[in-house]
Amino acid sequence: DAMVIQNPRYQVTQFGKPVTLSCSQTLNHNVMYWYQQKSSQAPKLLFHYYDKDFNNEADTPDNFQSRRPNTSFCFLDIRSPGLGDAAMYLCATSRVTSVGETQYFGPGTRLLVL
Q: Which is nearer to another protein, 44 or 79 (CB)?
A: 44
User: Distance between CA atoms of 3 and 37, rounded to whole angstroms?
Assistant: 20
Q: How far is the CB of 46 from another protein (least distance, A)?
A: 12
Nearer residue to another protein within complex by CB, 48 or 78: 48
How far apart (Å, rounded) are the C-alpha atoms in residues 62 and 94?
A: 25
- Please, what is the minimum distance in Å from the beta carbon of residue 102 to another protein? 6
Query: What is the distance between the alpha carbons of residues 33 and 112, in angstroms, rounded to a whole number?
Result: 21
Please report how close the Cβ of residue 55 comes to another protein at its closest, in angstroms: 6
Which residue number, 3 or 12, has a Cβ lying nearer to another protein? 3
Which amino acid is located at 78 in the chain?
I
The answer to whether the CB of 3 falls within 8 A of the CB of 27 is yes
Shortest Å distance, C-beta 18 to another protein:
26
Report the distance separating Cα 85 and Cα 72, nearest Å: 25
Binding site for another protein (CB under 8 A): 4, 40-43, 45, 48, 50, 55, 90, 92, 96, 99-108
Is 71:20 a contact under the CB 8 Å cutoff? no
Using the minimum distance from each CB to another protein, give the nearer residue, 81 or 106. Answer: 106
